[in-house]
Structure 1
Amino acid sequence: MANNPLTRFLASLTPPPFINPEEYDGLEFRWRWFVFRPALFETEVYLLSALVGYILFFLWGRWTNNRKAEKWVLAHSPVLETQFSKPRRWTKDGYTDFFNFSTGRRNVASLHTIFTLRPRHDFLQWAFQTGRTFIDLQYRPVDDLQLDFKLFPGTLPHDFVWAVVSKDELLSVKTDRWDLTWTKTSENSALPPKFSVMSEFGDVTDGILRAFPLAKLLEDPKIAPYFRSLTVTDQPRERPLKPLEANEREKHVILSLSVPPPSHAGDTAEFVAALFPFIDSLSKIALRPETKIKLKKVREENDKDIKREAEREKKEEEAEALEAKKAAKRRAEEERIAKLSAADQKKALERERKRSIRKSQNKIAK
């Protein structure tokens, strides 16, 4: 019994019996019959210290994330309350994600404001992110803030994808955003050198910069540390599985920021406030007729590609389902034959052999 593997395993998990030394000259606390000798609990002290440290880290991380989001909301609430007739209460999901949904403004169907903060409440996740930055030099975890303006139909009369992006984000932006893979990256002398333009056609960039003085906004030194990208798009962020119907197509203006520290929460308020006249100016964008034709053609070709891929995947799934059905049928037949007598099994196998021969002959004849 002693050689049983389970017994040996359980024995290895059992702590050794406590032996109270007869002689003890260390620190000791006595109260009536109660005696506490700290030196005998060295391991427990380390474990308790680690637990207390983990709890304190959790409390610090939760407080830090809440404070970051709350300070930004407090600094920008006057802007949202002025622009929207129905600014909603802020909600949160866990300790890293905060949300707000606002409606009731001309040209803007809704505004989703989404915080995705670093997991400061979870030491293991935080340590993993921090450690990865030393191994992967392109990996930069940030406190992300997205302001996603869904536009009313007619606010943006043209279909295109356009963005101005901080050069620090160029390595990752196309990985995170399928719609931006439609664009080409270029420099623009009208914008500060810290930023690049991602546009389908140069005519689109010219039209946007003529309709609104965006370059002046981007020159503000207060926005530079936190600006990641500003996108005007008629495409979804993720590649759709099938071509979108007309009533499923939406146009968005999306501002991506790094969340400022609480002491500078108001630094982005002026830029956020300027986005509303920027959105109003989109109806003034003028494009050349040939640019409109090219934009339309690109979308038609993209829809065809998505449709072809969806049909191919559907055929592959149907083929796999048919093969699985045939395999199940074969297994059922094999199980049925296995239950027969030896003579009946021989007859069944002979019938199956003749059936296979006939099928082969039919294929050759065709």
Structure 2
Amino acid sequence: MSSLADFSIEQIVEMSLWQRLSLYPWRVEIFSLGFMALYFVLYKLGSAKNKSLADKFIESIVPTLKDNFYQVGVTNNKLFAQDDAQNYSLYASGRLRLEYFLAKVELQARQNLFFWLMEYLMAFFVESVPTPADTISIEIKYDEETSEKFDNFIWAIVTKDNMNSYRKDSYFLSLTKTSESDKLPVEFVFMNEAAEISDVLVTKKFSDLIAQNKDTLKYFAITDQGIDKPVKMAELKPSKKILMQFTPSTDATKVEAINNFVSYVVNDFADMIVQRGSFRPELTRKIKKTRENEYNKLKKLLDDFKREELAQVKAEEQKKKQQSLTPKEQQKLKQKQQDKKQRKMMNRQKVRG
């Protein structure tokens, strides 16, 4: 088949536009257009899958939220926020005892196939990189007045497979001990500050709902401490929350099970925690001691850091002062510092003697 390369410039000039187009090799353009079309189709399919996962959860939980909260939605006219094709959030507020309900749906990068595959490859070869996963994270915060009506404590139910990574990634879980129980399916363990807390809080219905969600529930926690390790004293202030994490699904049975669990927590369990969350004085003292130890550790760390900063500032000021002196004055100051150092050494030797 002939191409433009087979003709001279004069012959090409004499050709019509159609003749030139018919002889032009369109392989690169066709490949580029095909690649773009494939990318667009995969983007739409990935985005649709993510939207379906988010919609299933949001649609199932909204009726419960509307029954319990005055305002449901990120604004009066917007039910949920979609940051991009991977991240959705739902907010509700205006319920007795609870300050807010916040759900975040974080999904895999299905809309970007190449980035998605790269994430999997990175996770396979680099141990510190997590494997991409779909996650529903729910945070229910108690208001300040209600928080004062029950004790500070940490109590969680987590999957055995991930308990070590959760302890590593969550500050509040690092303060707990692990214990197994016949109250839970074999896939789960308690992570709490005392086994007695489980005896007080676990109900038959709660255990049944855990069992129904054994394929989707990642963890459930009640905590007065944060997920991130505190770096300021103010961050140690108790802030009581209920935290949940699920794997989203489009399966109707699993979606209903997640909805039933969250609905039970919002309708009943959140209030039951307030009513039952006051423990024996011995247990309360033990929990308080843990927080005092964390307070002292952080205070020591911050004090050491402050001393290092002051020493560094003092050294810089001394250096600037020396640079402003004449050579003779610098020599005199150096001799003075050496004499001072020798006197200190002599005094130490006298003390040892």
Counterpart residue type for residue 33 of structure 2: L
Decide whether the 8 Å contact of 1:115 with 1:144 is kept in 2.
yes
Secondary structure of the equivalent of 1:104? strand
Counterpart residue type for residue 141 of structure 1: P
Map 1:106-255 to 2 at 5 A: 106-135=96-125, 139-152=130-143, 153-154=145-146, 157-209=150-202, 213-220=205-212, 223-244=213-234, 248-255=237-244
Query: 326, 329, 332: which one pairs with 1:351?
Result: 329
Counterpart residue type for residue 192 of structure 1: P
Decide whether the 8 Å contact of 2:184 with 2:207 is kept in 1.
yes
Quickly say closer, same or farther: Cα 1:97–1:314, change in 2 above 3 A.
farther
- Write the distance in 2 (CA, Å) between the matches of 1:111 and 1:167: 27
1:223-244, CA deviations, whole angstroms, 9 ceiling, x for partnerless residues? Answer: 2221000001010111111223
CA shift at 1:326, angstroms? 5.0
CA shift at 1:141, angstroms? 2.2
Instruction: Report which stretch shifted further, 320-329 or 158-167.
Output: 320-329
Decide whether the 8 Å contact of 2:158 with 2:219 is kept in 1.
yes
Counterpart residue type for residue 141 of structure 2: K
Secondary structure of the equivalent of 2:167? helix
1:15-45, CA deviations, whole angstroms, 9 ceiling, x for partnerless residues? Answer: xxxx93217xxxxxxx952332487233343
Decide whether the 8 Å contact of 1:231 with 1:255 is kept in 2.
yes
Structure 2 residues without counterparts, runs of 5 or longer = 8-14, 74-78, 345-353
1:97 is matched with 87
Secondary structure of the equivalent of 2:233? coil
Map 1:293-308 to 2 at 5 A: 293-308=285-300
2:247 is matched with 258
Q: Normalising to structure 1: TM-score of the pair?
A: 0.79
Quickly say closer, same or farther: Cα 1:208–1:364, change in 2 above 3 A.
same
1:258-277, CA deviations, whole angstroms, 9 ceiling, x for partnerless residues? Answer: 11126553341111111121
Decide whether the 8 Å contact of 2:142 with 2:241 is kept in 1.
yes
- Write the distance in 1 (CA, Å) between the matches of 2:234 and 2:319: 36
1:117-173, CA deviations, whole angstroms, 9 ceiling, x for partnerless residues? Answer: 112223343112222454468943211111100013435611111101122322321
Q: Normalising to structure 2: TM-score of the pair?
A: 0.82
Secondary structure of the equivalent of 1:21? helix
Decide whether the 8 Å contact of 1:207 with 1:286 is kept in 2.
no
Map 1:32-111 to 2 at 5 A: 32-34=16-18, 35-37=20-22, 40-88=25-73, 89-111=79-101
- Write the distance in 1 (CA, Å) between the matches of 2:303 and 2:84: 40
CA shift at 1:354, angstroms? 2.4
1:317-343, CA deviations, whole angstroms, 9 ceiling, x for partnerless residues? Answer: 33334445555666x65xxx9xxxxxx
Instruction: Report which stretch shifted further, 143-152 or 314-323.
Output: 314-323
Decide whether the 8 Å contact of 1:72 with 1:262 is kept in 2.
no
Decide whether the 8 Å contact of 1:178 with 1:236 is kept in 2.
yes
2:343 is matched with 365
- Write the distance in 2 (CA, Å) between the matches of 1:102 and 1:290: 37
Instruction: Report which stretch shifted further, 319-328 or 261-270.
Output: 319-328
Counterpart residue type for residue 64 of structure 1: K
Secondary structure of the equivalent of 1:235? coil
Please identify runs of 4+ aligned residues in structure 1 that moved more than 6 A.
none
CA shift at 1:245, angstroms? 7.5
Decide whether the 8 Å contact of 2:231 with 2:298 is kept in 1.
yes
Quickly say closer, same or farther: Cα 1:79–1:318, change in 2 above 3 A.
same
1:345 is matched with none
Quickly say closer, same or farther: Cα 1:96–1:328, change in 2 above 3 A.
farther
1:292 is matched with 284
2:351 is matched with none
